[in-house]
Every structure is written in C-alpha cells, then in structure tokens.
Chain A
Amino acid sequence: MAIQYDIPVGAQHISLLEPLHFKLTTENEKIVDVEANVGYVHRGIEKACTSKFKFKQVSIVVGRICGLCSISHTTAYSQLAEKLLNLEIPLRAKYLRMLVIELDRIHSHMLCLSHVAENSGFEALFMQTMKDRETSMELLEAVCGNRVQFDYSVVGGVARDLKPEVAKMVLEHLKQLKPKIDDLMDIFQNNWSLSLKNKGIGAISKENAMRLNAVGPLARAAGVPVDVRNETEDLLPWKQVGFQMILENGGDVHARNLVRLKELYVSMKIIENVLNGLPEGDFFVETKALPEGEAVVRLEAPRGELFHYGKGNKTQILERLKIKAPTFSNIPAFVEMFKGNEYASAPAIIASYDPCLSCTAR
C-alpha cells in the first residue's frame, strides 16, 4: 500500500479566494479522500434577522450575506416576505428584478471562468475574462447605483426605476460584449493546453450528482436538469423572457466552463427581451400588512438553487428565517469530485466549483 499524506488546503491558500479548508488525503499524487470545513465566517445573520431587524429591513440585511449574489438574496427574501404578506407586486418590478439577476449572473459566471483560467495556469485568459467582465459591473452600477447590487430588490418591488437612457446603454453594451464572449467560448472550448487541465478533470456522473443533490451549473454540467428559472413562473416569468436550460454531459471542469459560457448567452437574451418588453407602470407597491404564516421561496442564483424559508407571526419581527445557499448544497458533490484526481488538479476543480463561503456560513 502506498504511503498516504494529508495535505491541508486553506483556509488561507493561494488558489482559494474563500475561507474554506480541505484536508486532502493523497496516495502518491492521487487524491483518495477529502474532508471539508466551511465554518470560518459564520456571522449569525439568520439570528439577527429574527431578533434585531424589522421584516422590511431584513431585505437590506440579507443583501449583505454575499457581495457576488446580493440581488439573489434580496430578491428571494423580498419574494418570501411578499408571500407572507399576500402581496402582488407590479409586473414591471418583476421584469426589473430579472434584469438585475441576469446581469449579476453574467458577472458571477465570468468571475468563476476567470478563476478557472487562473487556477489552470492561464494568467492571460484570467486577465482577459476579468477585463470583459467589467462591462457587466458597469451596467450593474448604471441600473442599481452600485457595482454590488445591494438593496435593489425590496419588499414590494424594486428600489428604483430604470431610465430609458440606461436601458439603451445596457443594450448597446451587450452588443459589444457578445463578440468578446464568442472569443472566450472559442478559447475555453478549443484551446489545447487548457483542455489538458480541464477535460476529464473533477468529473462527477449524472447519477452521483443526483444522489448527492447537486444544484446549479455543477449539476447541469453533469446532465441533471435543475434550474429554478424553469419552475417559478408564479414569482418571476422567466419563460416569457426566453429562458432556456443549458445542459452538458461531461460533468468535468470543461463541461462546467461550457455551461457557464452558454448561460451567458441565455442571460444576454433574457436581458434584451426584458428591456424590449418592459411593461409600463409602477415599480413598487407599498403595504402596511404584517407577515403571517409560513412560506418558502426557491430562486436560481448564479451558483444554483437558493432557498429561503420564513415564518411570520403578525409582528414586525419574523419568527424564523432559514437561508440555504447553493454552495452549501453542493458540498457533498464537491467532496466527491476531488476523489481519483491528481493533487495538481485541485486548484482548477476548486475554482470550477465556484464556492461562496459568505453565503454558505452566513
């Protein structure tokens, strides 16, 4: 039997942007077992939301869970509160929420792709992808007022309307972004040296992805058809604006890259359709009702299914708020993905998992 070595990766590590710790057990260079520790940044946000803040303020608090998918948290929570209040919001607000969610998905997917490139030893591609991602950040700033979309969704709708000149700017910038995504697609799909680092690496089968309840691009890259945008017509009308599910079959780093790249095109199409078909009317509706009963909301964040559970008791303070982030669901599948791979492939696998520990530990 070969000698086994335990190699710690994280919580502070050059290939990790997140405070996440792995103990990789290796035989020679092959990873045979993995332990994950995610508990470095627990901030007690659920506790704060049910003890210190009124339910309308909670949408502002949950926006601080994560800087990358702030809009997903604020939108999921706002939808949850609206269910507890039995409040119907204007269609324009729903369209504006979809617009920002998809702009957010573009910047988040491009961030992930850039880190996969970097962790695969492809610095130039990392810089190119980050440069192209800047377009989405500028558009988010133009629409929301911030590069990070804090507080755009609020209970009752969205915090600000979209000006016609900003809508025009978004459409023009997307036209410029499209050929850049084409270039990235060509490199990620066809570059020979990158394929050596990504094809067949960190693979998970469809059966294992289902058994381990994987979500998001990680599951879709293995062929599992899970995308909440395909399901929640009652809350946000995704199919009206051209949503299309992207699936791959490889289940490896390369397949996850392709899913994210193809989803960029879907996001751009959704944004164009939202702006071209933006309904007239209010973007916010006021209410003085108090939350009552219990409700759940699922929303497709860039990393997968985000789940909010809430219980109200007709007071200003919620009785319970539970938040389950996609990275949290993907931990069991992620641990499985490492096994049988070379230790040198670990950084690319980690980046392709696209972990977000701020969401996971909350």
Chain B
Amino acid sequence: MKRVESSVDKIVTDIKNFYQYDKHHFITINAVDLGEKIEVQWFFCEYEKPSDVIMFFIQINPTEQIPTIKKVIPAAWVAEAELVDLMGINIENTPKGFVLEEDFKEVPLRKK
C-alpha cells in the first residue's frame, strides 16, 4: 500500500489531480482515531494495476471541517455520510443520519 500525505487545504486538489474515473477505482474513505488527531484516509487502486492500493491521508483536529470530494468523485457521498455518523467528522455539505439516526448523539468509533 502506497501512502500519500496531504493536508486539509490541498486534499481535494491532490485527489483531483490524481483521479481519473476511467483509470482509477475509488475504494472507500476511512478514518482512524489517533487520540489527539484523526487520520482520514482515501483509498484508490488502478484498473490496470489493481493490486497496488494508494492511500491519500490527512491528519486533522477532531473538530476541524474537511472538504467534500463529491465534486471529483460523485460516488463518495456514501462513504462521507458514513464517516460523519460513525466518526463524527465534520465534512462540508454532509448531514448526519445516513447510517445512524439524525439525532443520535454518540460517535461510536471515536475513542473517549
């Protein structure tokens, strides 16, 4: 797996410069609670060389808003909506309520 570091400001541009819908398969988005920080990860592979998984990642403060990549990858809305509910990440233009109820207060996958 190849790790590519980015930042909140640059992640959309980095993915936009990298991603071509007919060359790359977008796998999903994940997040890992590191305690003080959260690492958000975007996974891709190439149709031609699918065994090589490429992961873009950024580390953010838990309350920081991150931009959506829906304009680059329309199918990313499901993965973003899931992260909002389960990890409590604040993603631009992504409401709660896809996996959990809208008024559910907990964020199940965050460490206390």
Contacts and interface: CB of A to CB of B under 8 A. Distances in A.
B43 to A, nearest CB: 7
B50 interface: yes
A24 to B, nearest CB: 18
Contacts of B53: 296, 298
A328 interface: yes
Contacts of B82: 328
Interface in B38-88: 41, 43, 45, 47, 50-51, 53, 55, 73-75, 77-79, 82, 85-86
B8 interface: no
Given A47-B109, A215-B25, A361-B99, 5 more contacts: A226-B25, A231-B50, A298-B27, A298-B53, A328-B78
B95 interface: no
Contacts of B85: 39
A329 B25 CA distance: 11
A95 interface: no
B32 interface: yes
Given A39-B100, A42-B100, A213 B32 contact: no
Interface in A296-313: 296, 298, 305, 307, 309, 311
Contacts of B108: 44, 47
Interface string B93-112: 00001111100000011000
Nearest to B97: A39
B85 to A, nearest CB: 8
Interface string B1-40: 1000000000000000000011001111010110000000
Contacts of A230: 50
A327 to B, nearest CB: 10
Nearest to A231: B50
Interface residues of B, number: 34
Contacts of A332: 74-75, 77-78
| Band of interface residues on A | 35 or more
Given A307-B43, A309-B30, A324-B28, A212 B74 contact: yes
Given A213-B25, A213-B26, A296-B1, A38 B74 contact: no
For the residues of A in contact with B, the DSSP-based class is: mixed
B78 A307 contact: no
Contacts of B109: 46-47
Interface of A: 37-39, 42, 44, 46-47, 207, 210-213, 215, 225-226, 228, 230-234, 294-296, 298, 305, 307, 309, 311, 319-320, 322, 324, 328-329, 331-333, 361
A319 B97 CA distance: 25
A78 B101 CA distance: 32
Contact of B98 (A38, A44, A207, A322): A38
17 contacts: A39-B97, A46-B86, A47-B109, A210-B22, A211-B74, A212-B75, A213-B26, A215-B25, A225-B47, A226-B50, A307-B43, A319-B32, A320-B30, A320-B32, A328-B82, A329-B78, A333-B75
**Residue from A230, A231, A309 having most chain B Cβ neighbours under 10 A:** A309
Contacts of B43: 296, 307, 309
Contacts of A234: 51
A311 B28 contact: no
A281 to B, nearest CB: 26
A39 B1 contact: no
A319 B35 CA distance: 11
A215 B25 CA distance: 9
Contacts of B78: 328-329, 331-332
A37 to B, nearest CB: 8
B1 A38 contact: no
Nearest to B98: A39
A46 B83 CA distance: 13
The 4 A-B residue pairs whose C-beta atoms are closest, nearest first, are A332-B75, A324-B28, A231-B50, A213-B75
Most chain-B Cβ atoms within 10 A of its Cβ — which of A231, A295, A324?
Answer: A324
Nearest to A295: B1
B99 to A, nearest CB: 4
A228 B101 CA distance: 34
Contacts of A311: 32
